[in-house]
Copies of this chain bind each other. A is one copy, B any other.
């Protein structure tokens, strides 16, 4: 990586850390520059604005998220493992960069430029998952006496609660490897036992 590209990257890394812990508004450009080991002026020369930093960061997050989705296992007929894989991916995304995405989602309420930036992503996630749930209710893989939107909400509730207690409240350890973490499977199993069609014993 060229030296110039490296400074830009270091600035984005620093911004990601600080935005995640202190929020966008409470993070100063001076603090970002200092953490990046860079003069504050360099930040402005690179990104023009504080907004510019945010935009570049959002782009980078989008690129990585796309990469993760492409690398993950494609959906199969096995509903349980499809959903479990999706849960792991969701959690990995949310844990990425210290819970940055979740923090920004919160900040969107008070910072309009963040609201614009994230506006579409999340509702789409919820709606898309609800659609999948509805399909699987029709095929008899999921119980059909619960509104698919409620089900999708519960699913995201589990994944986001996993992240919240770790990142936001700092109550538990962050797993070293999301792909194999047992806690996630237990949590998911709780959801799954409730959502799947009961097997007759």
A contact residues vs B (CB 8 Å cutoff): 21-23, 25-26, 103, 105-107, 109-111, 122-123, 126, 146-147, 150-151, 153-154, 156-158, 160-162, 164-165, 168-169, 171, 183, 186-187, 189-195, 198, 200-201
- CB-contact partner of A150 in B147, B168, B183, B194, under 8 A: B183
A/B interface sample: 17 pairs, CB < 8 A: A22-B110, A23-B23, A23-B25, A23-B109, A23-B110, A25-B26, A105-B169, A126-B165, A150-B183, A154-B191, A157-B157, A157-B160, A157-B162, A160-B164, A189-B194, A190-B195, A194-B195
| Residues of A contacting B: mostly | helix
B contact residues around A151 at 8 Å (CB): 190
Decide if B201 touches A190 in the complex (CB within 8 Å).
Answer: no
- Contact status A186-B150, CB under 8 Å: yes
Kindly list chain B residues whose C-beta atoms are within 8 Å of the C-beta of A156: 161, 165
- Each complex incorporates copies of this chain amounting to 2
Least CB distance, A157 to chain B, in whole angstroms? 2
Do residues A161 and B171 form an inter-chain contact, with CB atoms below 8 A? no
State the CA gap A123–B198 with chains docked (Å).
34
